[in-house]
Chains A and B, each alone.
Chain A
Amino acid sequence: MMDCDKVKQLLSSYIDGELNEEEKIEFDNHIAQCSSCKEEFNDILKVLDILHSIPEVELPADFKEGLHKKLVEVKQQEIRPFRIRILSSVAAGIMVMFALGIVIFNAGGLRQKKFDTDGKTNSAMEQRAESAGNSSGIVRGFTTEFSDSTVPDTTEDINITAESPEPDQSMNIMAGDIKIQFTEGLKLEARHGETETDGQAVEEQTGTLSQELLYSENSKIKVSVIINDNAVSQERIIALVAENGGVVKDDTGNKVPTLMSTANFIEFTIPGNMYEVFLSSLKKDVEKSNANVDSTSPSIRDDIKARLEELAKTLEAINVKSKEIESRKTSEESASNPEDGKIENKELDAEMEQLESEKKKTEDEIEKLLESNEYVADVVINVSK
C-alpha cells in the first residue's frame, strides 16, 4: 500500500506517464481514499492546465532585421583584417593590453633603427605603448614564450589581424570572444603609408581598449585627491564624489558620507565609467577660483595584473591544446579504419568538452576578479593654486 509521502513523490511521474501498471493502480487506490492527497493532486493538475494553456508569445516585429544586422557584423569581423574585436567582458580588454604591451616591447627591442627613420611610425608606436601601460614586468613573463617562434631577422609589419589564412603558423590568444593572432614572427616594416594607417587604426583600437577596461562600470578606480593651498574645499570634493557615484572612506576603512580624517587628503573609489565625468566636473569647478588640477593616468594594480597575467596564460594554453586536439581529430577522420576513427574522435570530443569547461572556469574567474576587488586601478589628483 502506498502512503501519502510516497504518493506525493510520485505525483509528477504519474501525471507524465512514468509509472508502471502496478504503481498506477496503487496510486489510484490511494487517491480515491485520501482526500488530502486528492486535493493536492487536483491542485497540481490545475496548475499544469494553466501552464499548458499559456499561448506562445509572438516575436517582436523588428527581431529578424535586428538580428540580421548583427549576424552580418559577426561574419565581417571574422574576415576583416587589422581589427581587434571587442565582444565581451572587460577582462578581454586587459589581456589585449598585455598582449599589445608585449608586441610593442618586442618591436622596440628588436628594431629600434627602423623606428628612428620613420618618424610617423615611431609616434604611433609610442602612443600605443603609452596607452598599453608600459607594462615591462609582463613583457618579461611573456617574451620567453614568444621569443622562440617569433623573432625574425627580416623587417616587416606588426600584423594584428582578426583571422589569418594560415592558422597553424600563428599563435592564438583567445580571451573570451577576442582573438588576436600574431602572424608568424613579429614583422616590422617601414612601408610608410600602410604603417601609418595601420598604426593609427590600431592606436585607436588600443586607446579604446584601455578605456573600455578602466572606464567600464565594472571596474572601480581608487582616487587620491591632495588639496594644496586650500585650492578647493573638502566638502566640495566630497559632494562631487557623491554626485558621481563614488564612495568616500575614512582611515578606518568605513564609508563616510561627509567627514574626513584630514582636511587635505581625500581618498575614494569611483566606478570606472564615472571617473572622467568626475574629473571634468572638478576641473570646471576649480577654474572659477583659478586653481589647477593635475592628474596622473589611472594605473592597474600589480596584484591584479599578476593574476590576470596568469589567467591569460592559462587561456592561451587551453587554446593551444584545443587546436592540437582539433588537428588530431581531422587526421583521425581520414584514418584507414573508420570505426577506430570514430572511437578516437569520441575520446577527443570528451577531452574538448573538458577543455571547454576549464576555459569557462578561467573566464569566470577573470570576471570575478574584476568585480570583486575594491578597486582595479589608482590615480592621484593634485589640486593647487
Chain B
Amino acid sequence: MYIPEKDLIEKAQKMDVQAFEQLVEKYQKKVFNIAFSMLNNMDDASDISQEVFIKAFKSIKHFKQNSSFSTWLYRITVNTCLDELRKRKNKSNVFSIDQVIHLESGEVTRQLEDDRPTPDSMVENNELRALVRDSISQLSDELKEVIILRDINGLSYDDIADMLDCPLGTVKSRINRARNALKEILKRKIELWKKDFVK
C-alpha cells in the first residue's frame, strides 16, 4: 500500500519502526553511496549508513515537516562521515594510499600487479574508477563533500547549499575548485600508472 512520505514521517515520529523502514528503503542506496564515496570502504560505509539511520530514527521527532526529508537525511550522512574521517585522522593509522587501491567490490588490491590492463583499455575498467575514488579521498573535506554530492550523487546546487548550510556562491566556487583539484590529482596518478608500462 502506498503511503505518502509525509504520513510515513509522522508515524516514524511516534516510533513506528515499520513506517521508518519504508523511508529507509527509499533512501538507503543513496545514503550508502554517499558514505561509500566518502569512506572508500564497503564495511565502513555499511556501518556508517546504519549509524545514520539510527541517528535519524532517534531525532526524527525534531524534523520539521515543511522541509525536505532527503536533504535532512543526507546532511546527517555527510556529517557522520566527516566525523568518522576526523576520528581516523586523530588515531593516525595512516597508510600510504599510493600502495593500496579500494575497488568497488570492497577488495583491496596492491597497485603493482602483472595482470593489470594496459592504459588504453583503462577507460572501460574498474581500475580507473578505483583511481578516481582514490583521488577523491585525497581531497580536503570541504571539496570532497561537494564533489561527491554533485557529481556522484547528482544533487542540485540548491540542495547542496541547504545541506552544507552555506551560500550558493560558496557551493559554486567549491565545486569548481574540487573538480580542478580532482583533475590534477587524477592526471598525476594516471601519469604514474602509465610509467609502469614503459619497459
Q: Hey, which bits of chain A sit against chain B, CB under 8 A?
A: 8-9, 11-13, 16, 18, 40, 43-44, 47-48, 50-60, 63-64, 66-68, 70-72, 74-75, 78-79, 177, 349, 352, 356, 371
Contacts and interface: CB of A to CB of B under 8 A. Distances in A.
A260 B32 CA distance: 52
A57 B33 contact: yes
B41 to A, nearest CB: 11
B188 interface: no
A18 B46 CA distance: 36
A47 B183 contact: yes
Interface stretch (B1-9, B109-117, B171-179): B171-179
Interface stretch (B47-55, B70-78, B92-100, B191-199): B47-55
A324 to B, nearest CB: 15
A63 B157 CA distance: 30
B176 A12 contact: yes
B108 interface: no
Interface size class of B (residues with CB under 8 A): 35 or more
B46 A50 contact: no
A57 B176 contact: no
A356 B76 CA distance: 14
B192 to A, nearest CB: 17
A16 to B, nearest CB: 7
Contact of B32 (A57, A68, A72, A356): A57
Contacts of A50: 128-129, 132
B89 interface: no
A71 B179 contact: no
Interface of B: 15, 17, 20-21, 24, 28-29, 32-33, 36, 42, 45-46, 49-50, 53-54, 57-58, 62, 64, 90, 104, 128-129, 132-133, 147, 151-152, 157, 172-173, 175-176, 179-180, 182-183, 186-187
A11 B32 contact: no
Contacts of A68: 17, 21
- 6 closest cross-chain pairs (CB), A and B: A12-B176, A51-B151, A47-B183, A75-B15, A71-B17, A57-B36
A71 B186 contact: no
A352 B64 CA distance: 11
Contacts of A13: 172, 176
A90 B96 CA distance: 31
Nearest to A46: B183
Given A71-B57, A72-B17, A349-B64, A11 B50 contact: no
A14 B135 CA distance: 24
B179 A54 contact: no
A48 B46 contact: no
A71 B55 CA distance: 10
Given A50-B132, A371-B90, 19 more contacts: A9-B173, A12-B172, A16-B157, A16-B175, A44-B179, A44-B183, A47-B186, A52-B151, A54-B129, A55-B104, A57-B32, A57-B42, A57-B45, A58-B29, A67-B21, A68-B17, A68-B21, A79-B15, A349-B64
Contacts of B183: 40, 43-44, 47
Nearest to A49: B123
